[in-house]
Amino acid sequence: MLLITICVGSSCSLRGSDELASELFRLIEKENLEGLVDIVGAFCMDACSKGVSVRVGEREFSGIRPEQAQAFFYSEVVPRIKTKIAPRNTDKSPATPPCGKEGPS
């Protein structure tokens, strides 16, 4: 699961961390990504002067404004979610039967 941490400290709250979180939740639902990404709050992430601080996985961002939520989501969140999804087996051939059980001949 990809974790998004949004600072809810006083400075980031004044700059719209609640609105940013709400919009990111809405986008996660819109894209049916529940269960693949989660959002948690954190107190001061030591970048107060730059705007809302956000961590996506291990990468930290600062100065994110609520009105940038959609662009941020599609450029920084979605690609990281996709890299965490294991590749699916697209092989359409039938499963190999157990050894010695080839079926009637």
The smaller minimum CB distance to ligand FES, of residues 10 and 75, is found at 10
Q: x/- string (CB under 6 A) for ligand FES, residues 42-81?
A: --xxxxx----x----------------------------
5 near ligand FES, rule: CB under 6 A: no
Distance of CA 96 to the CA centre of its chain: 36
Collapsing DSSP to helix, strand or coil, 2 comes out as: strand
| The binder of ligand FES chosen from 2, 7, 27, 37 (CB under 6 A) | 7
Q: Which residues neighbour 52 within 8 Å (Cβ) at sequence distance 6 or greater? A: 6, 7, 12, 15, 16, 17, 20, 62, 63, 64, 65, 66
- Minimum distance of ligand FES from residue 59's CB (angstroms): 15
